[in-house]
Amino acid sequence: MLDKEHTTNSNYVGIIILVCLVSFTLVLGVYGFSAIYQTKDEGSFTLITKWFDVLYETLKLFSLSSSPDDDVTKHWAISIARFTAACSVFFSIAFAAVLAAGNWFKANVMARFYHEHCIICGLNEQSSFLIDDLLRRKHHVIVIEDDHTNPLIAEYKQTAATLILGDANKIDVLLKASLLKAKQLVTMTNCDLNNLDILKTVVESEYSPQLECYIGIDNVMSYKLFEPGAFYSIENIKRQSSGLLINMFNLNELVAIELVQSMHLGKKIDTVSENAKPVQILIIGFDQIGEAILRELLLLSHFANQVKVEITIMSDEPTDFFESHHQVHANANGNGLDLWDIHFVSSSHNPENPSDFNHIIACNKNENHALKDILRIYDLCTVKQLREIDSTTSFHYYNKLDHDIQHQQIRSFGAIRKNASFDQLIDSSKEALAKRSHEMYAKTKLGLESEDPRAIVMALEKHDQQESNPNAWLNWVNQPLFKRRSNFTEKRHIPMKLLAFGGEMPNKIITELNEEFENDSSCDFLPFFKEFDDLDKQLIGNWIRYIKQELKLDEAEITSRFHGLARAEHNRWNAFHVVNNWRYGEQKNEALKTHDCLLNWKDLEEKRADTIKYDYKNVYHIPESLALAYSMNNQK
């Protein structure tokens, strides 16, 4: 809110200047006219009448009608008062004109000189946080809003943001916002159809702008519109407007990602032993936030011991989740691939002992109701848990306004200030590792030598513009949405995999490399390890030595855990496809959403034995991914 405060302070300064000019005029006028009237014969006029005449003459100064030739004004105080009166009148006119025409001037004049700015389509609660964050970072921001009655318009007219009232679906309105010079276009109109129409307007225009587009999607089912063959597929958009870089975001998904990463899924229980208890999770309330959280849990709740996660949803609201995610229903609760146990219960159902759950999440969009739900369920915890401060159960409640109740076990999540920020929506720190990892792969494939991330991206984009086959495109933003989300999910699953080896990988594994490892064969016992030439064997060697020395595991135990991790990775891969309604087919077909590897581990070994090694390879890439994350953090 810094720019908003700066603009407000400027208004206050103008008002103070005007008050000072008026005060000087009044004081000097009264002093001057009273001195003149004292020298005149009182006649039949009373003293009070003369003072009213003094006030009248003083106020008349603001009419600018008095003249230096008048005898009554021949006094030094009156001469100064006449000057300050003229200044106050002209200053007030100019000040009022600036206030009245300031936004018109910014929208119709200043906006034409903007470049590398951000255009935001839609002025609402969500977009306001992004606007404020951009202004705080001293970015130029142009906001397009078509609702003239929007109460936020008056508020943001007082900021450094430029407001344009009009329909962003029209190209002339976007051109008025200096579209061809903009760096980013963000659509946040709270309507998927409007957001997609704006993108379509840009794509079909004759101008082909060089522009980063960030499209807000509220309904994840709308992702189907970005799949191959659809109008909004990356391939189709790039062919019509090659300068566009397309990104999609869903605020509820960002909330779910933040929550699941912060609650350390499965960290405080045994996820290695095959006879261990399952990770149990209770979700209270099931609206869009709850649905996003359930999807994230379905994607990531896969551990080395292959024990299924048990998820209970407590809600009375009707849901079509299993209708829109029909393959989840077909592969849960003992069916199909049997990836999860999912149960819906009434909100009147009280668990006998909530401490049986490892994670309890209240996700009512009403913050007070969410807090009430989590406090009620927390109060049902056993006396033993409260006495021993048992921290194996974590409690979380949705709070978009980021109120922190400072409780030892209860934590809030979903702060819109964080999830609707520049870092999350435009320069996504969450997706950065997946993006950077892909760029390193593409860099190796093209034989690039540069270490500068921006130079690498420019080289990849140049390659893609010259490449006619979309399947050969290498730039991250030119990859199909499904592939990008899959890679991103794989990186988010790394903490769950690391639970098999102590839950973390110390930085010394990355920083203290053994330069003599080239001929070291200490990792050759790992399954399929010798079949891959593109692994960072120094990092993996450091990791294996750490596991042997610190965790006291022998090679047989390490091998067993890597087998479990490879199966967990395949379960995660299966889960990602199932949540997106893919099913088994004898051939991979993206249009029909069939894949010949959507099998349980036993069937995969029998039917596609040539592919299981890649699940191991993804596990072996963990040290390299964490080293890349470490390097990125040190560069900030």
Three-class DSSP category at 332: strand
- Of the candidates 34, 36, 14, 176, the one whose C-alpha atom is nearest the C-alpha of residue 99 is 14
157-172: b or e for each residue (b if 16 or more CB lie within 10 Å)?
bbbbbbbbbbbbbeee
DSSP code of residue 263: T
* Under 8 Å between Cβ of 123 and 153: yes
Give me the pLDDT at residue 87, please: 86
Quick one: residue 117, left, alpha or beta (phi over 0 = left, psi -120 to 50 = alpha)? beta
Give me the pLDDT at residue 159, please: 84
Distances (CA, A) of 338 to 266, 297, 327, 332, 578: 19, 15, 11, 5, 11
- Composition of the chain by helix, strand, coil, percent to 5: 55, 10, 35
* Under 8 Å between Cβ of 296 and 255: no
Give me the pLDDT at residue 36, please: 74
* Under 8 Å between Cβ of 304 and 500: yes
DSSP code of residue 143: E
Distance CA 497, CA 339 (A): 16
Distance CA 219, CA 250 (A): 8
Give me the pLDDT at residue 171, please: 94
CATH for the 109-249 domain, from 3.30.465.10, 3.40.50.720, 3.30.70.100, 3.40.50.11540? 3.40.50.720
109-249 and 255-419 in the same fold:
yes
The alpha helices in 122-276, defined as continuous H runs, are: 125-136, 152-156, 171-176, 192-204, 234-240, 251-262
Give me the pLDDT at residue 47, please: 67
Query: How much is the pTM?
Result: 0.83
CA atoms within 13 A on the CB side of 325: 22
Distance CA 598, CA 581 (A): 11
Burial of 298 (0-12, 13-18, 19+ CB in 10 A): buried
Q: Where are the domains of the chain?
A: 2-102, 109-249, 255-419, 426-635
What's the length of the chain? 636
Please give the average pLDDT of every successive group of 10 residues along the chain, which has 636 residues: 50 78 83 72 62 80 69 70 83 73 65 86 95 93 94 88 93 92 95 96 92 93 87 89 89 94 89 93 93 97 96 90 94 96 88 85 91 88 55 86 82 92 82 86 87 87 88 89 92 95 86 60 88 88 91 94 97 97 92 93 93 95 90 73
Quick one: residue 287, left, alpha or beta (phi over 0 = left, psi -120 to 50 = alpha)? beta
DSSP code of residue 301: -
Give me the pLDDT at residue 45, please: 55
Give me the pLDDT at residue 2, please: 41
Q: Which residues contact 403 (CB under 8 A, 6 or more apart)?
A: 367, 412
* Under 8 Å between Cβ of 52 and 16: no
Structure tokens at 405: 């109740």
SS3 of 575-614: HHHHHCCCEECCCCECCCCEECCCCCHHHHHHHCCCCHHH
Give me the pLDDT at residue 454, please: 85
Q: Which residues pair with 311 in a beta bridge?
A: 281, 342
* Under 8 Å between Cβ of 225 and 236: no
CATH of domain 255-419: 3.40.50
